[in-house]
Amino acid sequence: MSDVDNVEAAESEHVVFVTEDGVPTGETGPKLASHHQHTRLHLAFSCYVFRRQDNAFLLTRRALSKKVWPGVWTNSVCGHPAQGEPLEDAVRRRAAYELGLPDLDELRCVLPRYVYRTPEFQGIVEHEFCPVFVAYTDVEPAANPIEVEATRWISWPDYTRLLETGESGLSYWANDQYPLLRKLEPFSLLSKETAASDETAVTSST
């Protein structure tokens, strides 16, 4: 698909409007035109992709050409399902399109009822019923430059330290999701493993 085709495809996407419980209302709207100062609640997803061999987490930077949150670093992949499209299918479709990762392993929803509304950013407000997923891969990403400016594998402990400084520059939703995710598997297990490793390192050095 050419760059022109990519842009046209993005502009033709629609979002699915939902109730406060995440139930589709039967209405849709053009994706870009539906994001403004009074954005209606609509369906979306976030996904955190880990590299199986070392549990590294895939950070991505949104393309500078994007109309919404350009150049912002965030979690692995985010997006909007089409009308009638199962969320898991939407995650796989966007991971393939944005990151060249068509085969996500162990894809599962860890936060099914996450809802957020962002402050205004360049005239845009996100207001999403946004289930959060986790998945694994053994494949290196091949980013679509229309969507993704850069990718970076980072250890989960290093990622959490970025967030906890309060100066990470990461997306609003990545910061907002973290306090909820840190209590859930696999995130809580990664944190415990890190704490144990740190304790062993301190003991060995004394």
One-letter identity of residue 45: F
Residue 170 near residue 163 (C-beta atoms within 8 A): yes
169, burial (CB in 10 Å: exposed 0-12, middle 13-18, buried 19+):
exposed
Q: How far apart are CA 203 and CA 197, in angstroms?
A: 10
Exposure string of 34-53, with b = 16+ CB inside 10 Å and e = fewer, is bbeeebebbbbbbbbbbbee
Locate 91 and state its tokens: 């995650």
Query: Nearest-CA neighbor of 122 among 181, 183, 172, 186?
Result: 172
Active site residue ranges: 78, 128
Q: How far apart are CA 67 and CA 33, in angstroms?
A: 11
